[in-house]
Structure 1
């Protein structure tokens, strides 16, 4: 595997710079906005704007790359992201920040897709699993480092805005000077949300609800910390520890879900998250160590749900539907991430800081109730029918192109369909997913 890093090392460096800047950008805005007196609702709309931009980028950037190529498109994305954070410093107003955050989300999704598709083409199938793991860990470490950087200075100044812009600009250098041949245009899988619903109603409902919860926490967690009196250093740890715990729990959760009904695993994670929600809502702890401990449990539960949902949906997906399934779930997760910060911000406006976890509690309670009903409606697949479990990047560190790095998916549906048709076993000769499979 190590020999492949010679061809993608520059891309990993660019991705690390992008994620580092994103870590700063995602935390400085809610913290500075809270200091400026922005309402919780307007701060929640920052997350809604980001998710709208992110989903739009995932859907439209492949066409841009097809017109101008990977290198030019990536330069545009990184440059506009740098402009967005600098304009946020010049125009300190809630509505301006919402628009600029949407622009940043669009650029971030586009830049990540370009890097991921490039890595995918430069890495053979047998090495993609290892390369994907390194790529994920690089992104996680860079994002965490960017968040933790805020512990070193004053969020009321301009330094962190400028640093984020600098690293966005640095992100484009590795691809701009690389001597590697640019990859082929991106593969865009056609999404079929009705078929996804017929395949697994639970996966559809659960991924939207998880998007609601995770999107709200990712945007407003820092605001919650500020509202209950945590200092900036503790807030940075509060946000980072949740993501790190979620990444760490994915392996044991995957091991467990491969050996029992994944729906029980998902409901168990939902129950743990709901218990933490109840604690934050009704006990309202303010002691920093207790808050951090609860955040780690919360993050471990909520950020481990997404890969369980994807694996459950793939358990029932017909052959060659894996990429469509993952892409459809990601789009639905984005829709939940659009609604979550808006609802969380509104509840925080009405009820105070605890409103953030009231929003999460409602989402997790609905997930548990609906999941329990679905378990009564359908038996679990047998061990031999289960798809392979794969960890997934946490937070907003994944795009449809990330799925192409998954070693279980060697071909896009269009390519696989052609190959299957030649053998008389293409998707047109297979039944569509049947209703009620999960």
Structure 2
């Protein structure tokens, strides 16, 4: 019973993080456009987030090893709270770019610590269920955060304060826990060369998704604003895309368990490319057509990354899942960082609808690559594939990879060194240090 309560408390902490993150990301794009920030500045705000998120995923484990999980999480939540409040006090593009990078850093660290606790309490037999619930809660909370902007609007201080409250409340489940702190955080196991040798399609998919969805997530709100939508319309537009995208993950994932996953990638990325091209050609106004196109884009684009991870894992050797997923995480982060900047330049030179030229180009490139690879390499038999697992494409950390039940084979291969007896004096010293960290002494 205690474990169940602990898990749901951690789910609550993660939901609060994602709610604040969803609200902040959409809010800054729309409010920045209202303040007259240039398209390049708005793109760099998205770039700052991705750079900070990747940096946090790599360096936060070092911080946690020095000060412990609870202190590190409190610091991340506090700095994240201060950051969104500074967004309100310092309304200029340079400040927002820098603050967004700091926010991404803190968000990555806080998310990793929550996931570390989930890893600690999850048993192997329930890991798949916990992972699926965790991903679903994150998608739902992020969408609710975006929808909340339709109530708060973008003017004034209310949306910024609401985001700050959400971030600081996320600290409560970990701060109030009486359980021992979990094992040290996982550092990203990155081997891009191994990833490309294992699955060129997965490597290209990670970069394409980063470029397309990074640009879309940052600058589509600006496109909606330029087309005449108000804050309520923009939040609803994104909610439709997010909900359809989340709904599509499971059926397309299960389909990819039965047929060549590259066929699914071709279908999804090809459809997303067509939707992007249609949007660029039609350039709809603030009417029902825009909502249909955004919903179709989310439906096609959202499941691509999870299917690509599953495809890479089909060809991975035992014990290589974490390295391959870490390589995809790095490539995805590079795409997420570059995509908004590139799209902002094209939007500035062409028009706001130029955003969809970027999304269409990279999704089309992925569809062509997957089709060519099918002619070179045979698919893995369906009976030998690891089951698909739904996942997001913007908040993946090394701890997310460890929580993924497909990583069980990696941990099973890790050597356990316990041949030599441990002196009792050392045991007492370690236990005393742990008690100090937990606050019991």
- Under a length normalisation based on structure 2, what TM-score does the superposition of the two structures give? 0.91
In 2 relative to 1, CA 176–4 (structure 1 residues): closer, same or farther, beyond 3 Å?
Answer: closer
Counterpart secondary structure, 2:357: helix
* Equivalence for 1:277: 276
How far 1:106 sits from its partner (Å)? 0.5
* Equivalence for 2:241: 242
* Equivalence for 2:210: 211
* Equivalence for 1:111: 110
Equivalent residue runs for 1:67-216 within 5 Å: 67-216=66-215
**Could you give the per-residue CA deviations for residues 148-193 of structure 1, whole angstroms, max 9, x where no partner exists?**
1111133121111111112111111221122122111123353211
Does the 8 Å contact 1:348/1:356 carry over to 2?
yes
**Could you give the per-residue CA deviations for residues 183-240 of structure 1, whole angstroms, max 9, x where no partner exists?**
1112335321111111111111121011100111111111111011112111101112
RMSD: 1.7
How far 1:386 sits from its partner (Å)? 2.0
Equivalent residue runs for 1:350-429 within 5 Å: 350-392=349-391, 394-410=392-408, 412=410, 416-418=413-415
* Equivalence for 2:339: 340
How far 1:261 sits from its partner (Å)? 1.1
In the alignment, the residues of structure 2 paired with residue 321 and residue 146 of structure 1 have an alpha-carbon distance, to the nearest angstrom, of 35
Q: Which moved more, 1:97-106 or 1:247-256?
A: 247-256
* Equivalence for 2:424: none
In the alignment, the residues of structure 2 paired with residue 110 and residue 419 of structure 1 have an alpha-carbon distance, to the nearest angstrom, of 27
In the alignment, the residues of structure 1 paired with residue 38 and residue 69 of structure 2 have an alpha-carbon distance, to the nearest angstrom, of 39
**Could you give the per-residue CA deviations for residues 21-72 of structure 1, whole angstroms, max 9, x where no partner exists?**
1111111101110000011111011110000000001111111111111101
In the alignment, the residues of structure 2 paired with residue 261 and residue 419 of structure 1 have an alpha-carbon distance, to the nearest angstrom, of 37
* Equivalence for 1:314: 313
Q: Mind listing any 5+ residue stretches in structure 1 that lack a counterpart? A: 423-438
How far 1:412 sits from its partner (Å)? 4.3
* Equivalence for 1:13: 12
Q: Which moved more, 1:46-55 or 1:321-330?
A: 321-330
Does the 8 Å contact 2:189/2:322 carry over to 1?
no
Does the 8 Å contact 2:191/2:326 carry over to 1?
no
Does the 8 Å contact 1:212/1:360 carry over to 2?
yes
Counterpart secondary structure, 2:404: coil
Q: Which moved more, 1:179-188 or 1:32-41?
A: 179-188
How far 1:395 sits from its partner (Å)? 4.3
Q: Mind listing any 5+ residue stretches in structure 2 that lack a counterpart? A: 420-441
In the alignment, the residues of structure 1 paired with residue 169 and residue 112 of structure 2 have an alpha-carbon distance, to the nearest angstrom, of 17
In the alignment, the residues of structure 2 paired with residue 275 and residue 190 of structure 1 have an alpha-carbon distance, to the nearest angstrom, of 35
Length, aligned pairs only: 418
Counterpart secondary structure, 1:332: helix
In 2 relative to 1, CA 61–411 (structure 1 residues): closer, same or farther, beyond 3 Å?
Answer: farther
- Under a length normalisation based on structure 1, what TM-score does the superposition of the two structures give? 0.92
How far 1:131 sits from its partner (Å)? 1.5
* Equivalence for 2:60: 61
- Deviation beyond 3 Å, 4+ runs, structure 1: none
